[in-house]
Amino acid sequence: MTAAVLPELVPTLLGIGVLIAFATVPLLLFGVPGAWGPAVAVLRGAVQLAAISLILGGIIAQPLWIAVALVVMFAIASLVGIGRVGWSGRSALLITASIAAGVIVAGFGVFGSGALELTPRYVLAIGAIIIGNTMNTASLTGRLFVGSVHDHWDQVEGWLALGARPRRATVHLARRAVHEALIPTIDQTKTTGLVVLPGAFVGAIFGGLSPLEAGRFQIVVLAALIAAGAVTAVCVASGLGAVSTRPARALTEPGRRRRADRQSWWRGFRNGRSPRSVRGRSSRSRRS
Protein backbone atom coordinates (compact mmCIF):
# COMPACT_ATOMS: atom_id res chain seq x y z
CA MET A 1 0.00 0.00 0.00
CA THR A 2 1.61 3.25 -1.10
CA ALA A 3 1.60 6.49 0.85
CA ALA A 4 -0.54 8.10 -1.87
CA VAL A 5 -3.39 5.69 -1.17
CA LEU A 6 -3.52 6.19 2.60
CA PRO A 7 -5.00 9.72 2.57
CA GLU A 8 -7.93 8.43 0.50
CA LEU A 9 -8.32 5.18 2.43
CA VAL A 10 -8.59 6.70 5.92
CA PRO A 11 -11.73 8.80 5.21
CA THR A 12 -13.27 5.80 3.44
CA LEU A 13 -12.75 3.54 6.44
CA LEU A 14 -14.04 6.25 8.76
CA GLY A 15 -17.18 6.68 6.67
CA ILE A 16 -17.79 2.93 6.60
CA GLY A 17 -17.40 2.78 10.38
CA VAL A 18 -19.90 5.60 10.88
CA LEU A 19 -22.43 3.99 8.54
CA ILE A 20 -22.03 0.62 10.30
CA ALA A 21 -22.75 2.36 13.60
CA PHE A 22 -25.83 4.04 12.12
CA ALA A 23 -27.06 0.61 11.02
CA THR A 24 -26.23 -1.32 14.18
CA VAL A 25 -27.23 1.04 17.00
CA PRO A 26 -30.95 1.31 16.05
CA LEU A 27 -31.17 -2.49 15.69
CA LEU A 28 -29.57 -3.01 19.11
CA LEU A 29 -31.81 -0.43 20.76
CA PHE A 30 -34.91 -1.97 19.19
CA GLY A 31 -33.85 -5.47 20.22
CA VAL A 32 -33.82 -6.89 16.69
CA PRO A 33 -32.42 -10.47 16.50
CA GLY A 34 -29.10 -10.63 14.69
CA ALA A 35 -28.48 -6.93 15.15
CA TRP A 36 -24.79 -7.34 14.34
CA GLY A 37 -25.56 -9.05 11.05
CA PRO A 38 -25.43 -5.88 8.89
CA ALA A 39 -22.10 -4.85 10.40
CA VAL A 40 -20.61 -8.28 9.75
CA ALA A 41 -22.00 -8.22 6.22
CA VAL A 42 -20.38 -4.84 5.46
CA LEU A 43 -17.02 -5.90 6.86
CA ARG A 44 -17.13 -9.19 5.02
CA GLY A 45 -18.15 -7.41 1.81
CA ALA A 46 -15.24 -4.98 2.17
CA VAL A 47 -12.74 -7.80 2.50
CA GLN A 48 -14.26 -9.70 -0.41
CA LEU A 49 -14.33 -6.63 -2.66
CA ALA A 50 -10.70 -5.85 -1.85
CA ALA A 51 -9.73 -9.41 -2.74
CA ILE A 52 -11.76 -9.55 -5.95
CA SER A 53 -10.43 -6.14 -7.03
CA LEU A 54 -6.87 -7.40 -6.80
CA ILE A 55 -7.76 -10.63 -8.60
CA LEU A 56 -9.73 -9.00 -11.41
CA GLY A 57 -6.93 -6.53 -12.04
CA GLY A 58 -4.87 -9.41 -13.39
CA ILE A 59 -7.52 -11.45 -15.22
CA ILE A 60 -9.93 -8.90 -16.67
CA ALA A 61 -8.78 -9.54 -20.24
CA GLN A 62 -8.38 -13.34 -19.97
CA PRO A 63 -11.56 -15.27 -20.90
CA LEU A 64 -10.49 -18.48 -19.16
CA TRP A 65 -10.02 -16.82 -15.80
CA ILE A 66 -13.21 -14.83 -16.25
CA ALA A 67 -15.03 -18.14 -16.70
CA VAL A 68 -13.39 -19.53 -13.55
CA ALA A 69 -14.45 -16.45 -11.58
CA LEU A 70 -18.05 -16.78 -12.77
CA VAL A 71 -18.12 -20.50 -11.89
CA VAL A 72 -16.93 -19.69 -8.37
CA MET A 73 -19.59 -16.97 -8.05
CA PHE A 74 -22.25 -19.38 -9.28
CA ALA A 75 -21.18 -22.09 -6.82
CA ILE A 76 -21.28 -19.69 -3.87
CA ALA A 77 -24.66 -18.30 -4.97
CA SER A 78 -26.06 -21.83 -5.18
CA LEU A 79 -24.78 -22.69 -1.71
CA VAL A 80 -26.36 -19.57 -0.24
CA GLY A 81 -29.67 -20.28 -1.94
CA ILE A 82 -29.66 -23.91 -0.79
CA GLY A 83 -28.95 -22.84 2.77
CA ARG A 84 -31.94 -20.50 2.75
CA VAL A 85 -34.36 -23.08 1.40
CA GLY A 86 -33.07 -26.11 3.34
CA TRP A 87 -30.20 -28.53 2.98
CA SER A 88 -31.12 -31.69 1.10
CA GLY A 89 -30.15 -33.37 -2.14
CA ARG A 90 -33.44 -32.36 -3.74
CA SER A 91 -33.20 -28.71 -2.76
CA ALA A 92 -29.54 -28.56 -3.81
CA LEU A 93 -30.41 -29.82 -7.28
CA LEU A 94 -33.46 -27.58 -7.52
CA ILE A 95 -31.78 -24.33 -6.47
CA THR A 96 -28.66 -24.95 -8.55
CA ALA A 97 -30.69 -25.80 -11.65
CA SER A 98 -33.04 -22.85 -11.13
CA ILE A 99 -30.22 -20.33 -10.82
CA ALA A 100 -28.46 -21.86 -13.82
CA ALA A 101 -31.64 -21.66 -15.89
CA GLY A 102 -32.08 -17.98 -15.10
CA VAL A 103 -28.46 -17.15 -15.86
CA ILE A 104 -28.44 -19.08 -19.15
CA VAL A 105 -31.69 -17.57 -20.41
CA ALA A 106 -30.66 -14.02 -19.54
CA GLY A 107 -27.16 -14.49 -20.96
CA PHE A 108 -28.56 -15.80 -24.23
CA GLY A 109 -30.94 -12.86 -24.43
CA VAL A 110 -28.17 -10.32 -23.83
CA PHE A 111 -25.38 -11.74 -25.98
CA GLY A 112 -27.32 -13.91 -28.42
CA SER A 113 -29.41 -10.97 -29.53
CA GLY A 114 -26.38 -8.71 -29.92
CA ALA A 115 -27.64 -6.25 -27.29
CA LEU A 116 -24.11 -6.26 -25.85
CA GLU A 117 -20.86 -7.33 -27.42
CA LEU A 118 -19.55 -10.69 -26.26
CA THR A 119 -16.34 -9.53 -24.56
CA PRO A 120 -14.73 -10.70 -21.30
CA ARG A 121 -15.54 -7.40 -19.57
CA TYR A 122 -19.23 -7.49 -20.47
CA VAL A 123 -19.50 -11.21 -19.68
CA LEU A 124 -18.00 -10.66 -16.23
CA ALA A 125 -20.13 -7.61 -15.46
CA ILE A 126 -23.44 -9.04 -16.71
CA GLY A 127 -22.73 -12.52 -15.36
CA ALA A 128 -21.90 -11.35 -11.85
CA ILE A 129 -24.95 -9.09 -11.64
CA ILE A 130 -27.32 -11.77 -12.91
CA ILE A 131 -25.91 -14.50 -10.65
CA GLY A 132 -26.29 -12.29 -7.59
CA ASN A 133 -29.85 -11.34 -8.48
CA THR A 134 -30.97 -14.90 -9.24
CA MET A 135 -29.49 -16.03 -5.92
CA ASN A 136 -31.67 -13.50 -4.09
CA THR A 137 -34.72 -14.42 -6.16
CA ALA A 138 -34.28 -18.15 -5.56
CA SER A 139 -33.86 -17.66 -1.81
CA LEU A 140 -36.82 -15.30 -1.56
CA THR A 141 -39.11 -17.52 -3.62
CA GLY A 142 -38.27 -20.59 -1.56
CA ARG A 143 -38.73 -18.82 1.77
CA LEU A 144 -41.99 -17.19 0.71
CA PHE A 145 -43.44 -20.43 -0.64
CA VAL A 146 -42.52 -22.57 2.38
CA GLY A 147 -43.76 -19.95 4.81
CA SER A 148 -46.99 -19.48 2.87
CA VAL A 149 -47.70 -23.23 2.73
CA HIS A 150 -47.07 -23.48 6.48
CA ASP A 151 -49.37 -20.54 7.27
CA HIS A 152 -52.16 -21.68 4.92
CA TRP A 153 -51.89 -25.41 5.50
CA ASP A 154 -55.62 -25.67 6.26
CA GLN A 155 -56.36 -24.53 2.70
CA VAL A 156 -53.81 -26.94 1.22
CA GLU A 157 -55.18 -29.78 3.33
CA GLY A 158 -58.68 -28.95 2.11
CA TRP A 159 -57.56 -29.26 -1.50
CA LEU A 160 -55.84 -32.58 -0.73
CA ALA A 161 -58.98 -33.86 1.01
CA LEU A 162 -60.96 -33.08 -2.14
CA GLY A 163 -58.62 -35.27 -4.17
CA ALA A 164 -56.35 -32.60 -5.63
CA ARG A 165 -52.77 -33.54 -6.36
CA PRO A 166 -50.15 -31.94 -4.08
CA ARG A 167 -48.92 -29.60 -6.82
CA ARG A 168 -52.48 -28.46 -7.61
CA ALA A 169 -53.17 -27.90 -3.90
CA THR A 170 -50.32 -25.39 -3.60
CA VAL A 171 -50.29 -23.80 -7.05
CA HIS A 172 -51.98 -20.57 -5.87
CA LEU A 173 -49.39 -20.20 -3.10
CA ALA A 174 -46.56 -20.91 -5.54
CA ARG A 175 -47.83 -18.23 -7.92
CA ARG A 176 -48.06 -15.73 -5.07
CA ALA A 177 -44.50 -16.54 -3.97
CA VAL A 178 -43.20 -15.93 -7.50
CA HIS A 179 -45.08 -12.63 -7.73
CA GLU A 180 -43.78 -11.35 -4.41
CA ALA A 181 -40.22 -12.51 -5.07
CA LEU A 182 -40.11 -10.44 -8.26
CA ILE A 183 -41.45 -7.25 -6.66
CA PRO A 184 -38.01 -5.82 -5.67
CA THR A 185 -36.59 -6.25 -9.18
CA ILE A 186 -39.72 -4.90 -10.85
CA ASP A 187 -39.85 -1.87 -8.52
CA GLN A 188 -36.18 -1.15 -9.13
CA THR A 189 -36.78 -1.23 -12.88
CA LYS A 190 -39.88 0.96 -12.72
CA THR A 191 -38.17 3.62 -10.59
CA THR A 192 -34.84 3.71 -12.43
CA GLY A 193 -33.97 7.28 -13.30
CA LEU A 194 -36.76 8.66 -11.09
CA VAL A 195 -35.83 7.42 -7.63
CA VAL A 196 -32.66 5.40 -8.17
CA LEU A 197 -29.53 5.66 -10.30
CA PRO A 198 -28.43 2.00 -10.43
CA GLY A 199 -24.83 1.06 -9.74
CA ALA A 200 -24.22 -0.26 -13.23
CA PHE A 201 -25.32 3.08 -14.73
CA VAL A 202 -23.16 5.16 -12.39
CA GLY A 203 -20.22 2.80 -12.79
CA ALA A 204 -20.44 2.96 -16.57
CA ILE A 205 -20.35 6.76 -16.47
CA PHE A 206 -17.39 6.74 -14.10
CA GLY A 207 -15.74 4.28 -16.48
CA GLY A 208 -15.87 6.81 -19.29
CA LEU A 209 -19.09 5.97 -21.17
CA SER A 210 -21.43 8.72 -22.23
CA PRO A 211 -24.73 8.96 -20.30
CA LEU A 212 -26.53 7.62 -23.39
CA GLU A 213 -24.30 4.56 -23.61
CA ALA A 214 -24.50 4.05 -19.85
CA GLY A 215 -28.29 4.19 -20.07
CA ARG A 216 -28.30 1.62 -22.86
CA PHE A 217 -26.10 -0.69 -20.79
CA GLN A 218 -28.30 -0.23 -17.71
CA ILE A 219 -31.61 -1.01 -19.40
CA VAL A 220 -30.10 -4.17 -20.86
CA VAL A 221 -28.99 -5.14 -17.33
CA LEU A 222 -32.42 -4.46 -15.86
CA ALA A 223 -34.19 -6.44 -18.58
CA ALA A 224 -31.76 -9.32 -18.02
CA LEU A 225 -32.43 -9.25 -14.28
CA ILE A 226 -36.18 -9.46 -14.80
CA ALA A 227 -35.83 -12.31 -17.30
CA ALA A 228 -33.43 -14.26 -15.08
CA GLY A 229 -35.54 -13.62 -11.98
CA ALA A 230 -38.76 -14.74 -13.63
CA VAL A 231 -37.24 -18.00 -14.90
CA THR A 232 -35.52 -18.74 -11.58
CA ALA A 233 -38.58 -17.96 -9.45
CA VAL A 234 -40.90 -20.14 -11.56
CA CYS A 235 -38.40 -23.01 -11.49
CA VAL A 236 -38.03 -22.84 -7.71
CA ALA A 237 -41.77 -22.58 -7.04
CA SER A 238 -42.51 -25.41 -9.49
CA GLY A 239 -39.89 -27.64 -7.93
CA LEU A 240 -41.13 -27.03 -4.38
CA GLY A 241 -44.80 -27.21 -5.33
CA ALA A 242 -45.49 -30.91 -4.74
CA VAL A 243 -46.03 -30.71 -0.96
CA SER A 244 -48.00 -33.46 0.80
CA THR A 245 -46.99 -32.76 4.42
CA ARG A 246 -46.91 -29.48 6.28
CA PRO A 247 -43.41 -27.96 6.14
CA ALA A 248 -41.86 -26.61 9.34
CA ARG A 249 -41.86 -22.86 9.65
CA ALA A 250 -38.27 -23.13 10.86
CA LEU A 251 -37.32 -24.13 7.32
CA THR A 252 -37.19 -20.41 6.54
CA GLU A 253 -34.72 -19.89 9.42
CA PRO A 254 -31.74 -22.09 8.55
CA GLY A 255 -29.51 -20.93 11.38
CA ARG A 256 -32.10 -21.70 14.04
CA ARG A 257 -32.92 -25.03 12.41
CA ARG A 258 -29.30 -26.15 12.32
CA ARG A 259 -28.83 -25.20 15.97
CA ALA A 260 -31.95 -27.16 16.91
CA ASP A 261 -30.70 -30.17 14.97
CA ARG A 262 -27.33 -30.05 16.70
CA GLN A 263 -28.95 -29.75 20.11
CA SER A 264 -31.30 -32.66 19.34
CA TRP A 265 -28.38 -34.77 18.13
CA TRP A 266 -26.37 -34.04 21.28
CA ARG A 267 -29.30 -34.91 23.57
CA GLY A 268 -29.80 -38.18 21.71
CA PHE A 269 -26.10 -38.97 21.86
CA ARG A 270 -26.05 -38.51 25.63
CA ASN A 271 -29.14 -40.73 25.95
CA GLY A 272 -27.56 -43.50 23.91
CA ARG A 273 -29.59 -43.14 20.70
CA SER A 274 -27.94 -43.29 17.29
CA PRO A 275 -27.43 -40.03 15.36
CA ARG A 276 -29.57 -41.37 12.51
CA SER A 277 -32.56 -42.03 14.78
CA VAL A 278 -32.16 -38.62 16.36
CA ARG A 279 -32.14 -36.90 12.98
CA GLY A 280 -35.21 -38.86 11.95
CA ARG A 281 -37.01 -37.93 15.15
CA SER A 282 -36.02 -34.25 14.74
CA SER A 283 -37.36 -34.23 11.16
CA ARG A 284 -40.63 -35.82 12.23
CA SER A 285 -41.05 -33.27 15.02
CA ARG A 286 -40.56 -30.40 12.57
CA ARG A 287 -43.22 -31.81 10.28
CA SER A 288 -45.76 -32.16 13.08
Rounded to 10 deg, the angle between the 171-191 and 211-240 helix axes is 170
pLDDT at 104: 92
Whether residues 272 and 227 fall in one domain: no
Whether residues 228 and 101 fall in one domain: yes
Q: Give the pLDDT confidence of 51-74 residue by residue, as tens digits.
A: 777 776 666 667 788 888 889 889
Contacts of 261 (CB under 8 A, 6+ apart): 279, 282
Whether residues 121 and 260 fall in one domain: no
Would you say the pTM of this structure is higher than 0.95? no
pLDDT at 102: 92
Q: Give the pLDDT confidence of 178-237 residue by residue, as tens digits.
A: 998 899 888 888 888 777 777 777 777 777 777 787 778 888 888 999 999 999 999 988
Band the pLDDT of 267: cuts 50, 70, 90: low
Task: Look at residues 13, 39, 59 and tell me which one is the last residue of a structural domain.
Answer: 59
Is the pLDDT at 42 greater than 60? The verdict is yes
Averaged pLDDT score across all residues of the chain: 77
Whether residues 35 and 67 fall in one domain: no
Whether residues 141 and 240 fall in one domain: yes
Number of independent structural domains in the chain: 3
Instruction: Give me Rg for the CA atoms of the chain.
Output: 22
Range of the domain at 276: 253-288
Taking the C-alpha atoms of residue 215 and residue 68, their distance in angstroms, rounded to an integer, is: 29
Lowest mean pLDDT among 204-208, 249-253, 263-267: 249-253
Whether residues 165 and 264 fall in one domain: no
